[in-house]
Structure 1
Amino acid sequence: MPPNLTYDPPAQPSYISGPACSPHCRDIEVDYFVPAVDKATSYEWDITGIYAAGVTWNGPYATVWSHHYGTATLWCRALNYGVPGPWQTKTIYIENCSRDSNSFGNQTKINKSGKLLTNIECNELQNEVRIYPNPASNIINISVPNSVNYSVVELINNQGETVKSIKSPNRKIVINTNDVSPGLYIIKLSSRNSILLEKVIISK
């Protein structure tokens, strides 16, 4: 039998990214990442310090969600064939903005590819994606640029619940809101590399 192999623990991730362009809002998923760590074969994430919160991840990329607001600690460490390295931590603040229409920015771009977007890039994206009419009554039209492939469109209410979900590769998407109650909603457009959030008001 071959001798047992032993592996050195990998280094600590140099940092955990912050969300781009927007505060972390309760009930809205926000993405983080860590730069690649030498010798890392996998990564592990955790969140502590806040009730009813969680984190899911795919390697160095993680998505944080919470049903409460306040200060939390986000954790990440690299592993080398199961041998863990030291934890890297980041203090994050989750705001109670899912119930406050004034707390949402008009639009949020969260990039999963390892590059945080600037406010200028967020403004450029706002000019490219059209969501109209706003306020809406019976339908919401969404027009996306050729440069971005959004595959899933969701309509999320102020409780954080998805009330409509559409999978479509089309550049023009229509959401029927005849059966949706009036109020403040979030349009969430998801692609492989990014998530776009924009608030919309439905009035009858």
Structure 2
Amino acid sequence: MKYIILLLFIFIGSQSFSQEAGFQSTGFEDEVKNEVKVYPNPCKNDKVTIEFSSKEISEVRLTNIAGQQVLLKKYDFPLPKIQLRLNEVPNGIYLLQITTTDNKPTVKKLMISRN
């Protein structure tokens, strides 16, 4: 029962987070989601890779489910593929906001689970 409530909370929280942050729904949302790869997810070690197939990443922001910013990385020279070190980030569920060079944000869920 706890897991069902947690999943509902995550789903509702991610929807309200994207609306509060000013993200607008477009017809190309499914295309963008297919372009972005975040792996491994869940992250069991201290590294996660983010890869865009057709755009370059200029900023990555990691936010916990309470809405607190945990990590912010800005790239002066945008890259299509980056690897984040998450040594200082505790286990939990996070929202990963990826901004590309055309200032279009994409939000993905990321779970960190080191056992």
Q: Which TM-score applies when normalising by structure 2?
A: 0.72
The SS at the match of 2:79 is: coil
Q: Which amino acid aligns with 1:157?
A: N
Residue 188 of structure 1 is aligned with which of 93, 97, 109?
Answer: 97
- Offset from partner CA, 1:17-50 (integer Å, 9 cap, x none): xxxxxxxxxxxxxxxxxxxxxxxxxxxxxxxxxx
CA distance in 2, matches of 1:101, 1:170: 29
Residue in 2 that maps onto 1:172: 81
Residue 158 of structure 1 is aligned with which of 65, 72, 78?
Answer: 65
Offset at residue 136 of structure 1 (A)? 0.5
Residue in 2 that maps onto 1:65: none
The SS at the match of 2:57 is: coil
Please show how residues 1-204 of structure 1 align to structure 2 within 5 Å.
100-103=9-12, 104=14, 110=23, 117-118=26-27, 121-137=28-44, 138-146=46-54, 148-168=55-75, 169-191=78-100, 192-204=102-114
CA distance in 1, matches of 2:39, 2:94: 13
Offset at residue 149 of structure 1 (A)? 3.3
The SS at the match of 1:197 is: strand
Q: As a proportion of its length, which structure holds more helix?
A: 2
Offset at residue 150 of structure 1 (A)? 2.8
The Cα RMSD (Å) is: 2.3
The SS at the match of 2:106 is: strand
Offset at residue 193 of structure 1 (A)? 3.1
Offset at residue 190 of structure 1 (A)? 1.6
- Offset from partner CA, 1:158-203 (integer Å, 9 cap, x none): 2212211112211111111122111110101123431111111110
Q: Which amino acid aligns with 1:145?
A: S
CA distance in 2, matches of 1:101, 1:194: 23
Identity %: 28
Larger radius of gyration: 1
Equivalences, count = 97
CA distance in 2, matches of 1:195, 1:170: 15
CA distance in 2, matches of 1:193, 1:176: 23
Q: Which TM-score applies when normalising by structure 1?
A: 0.43
Unaligned runs of 5+ in 1: 1-98
Unaligned runs of 5+ in 2: 1-7
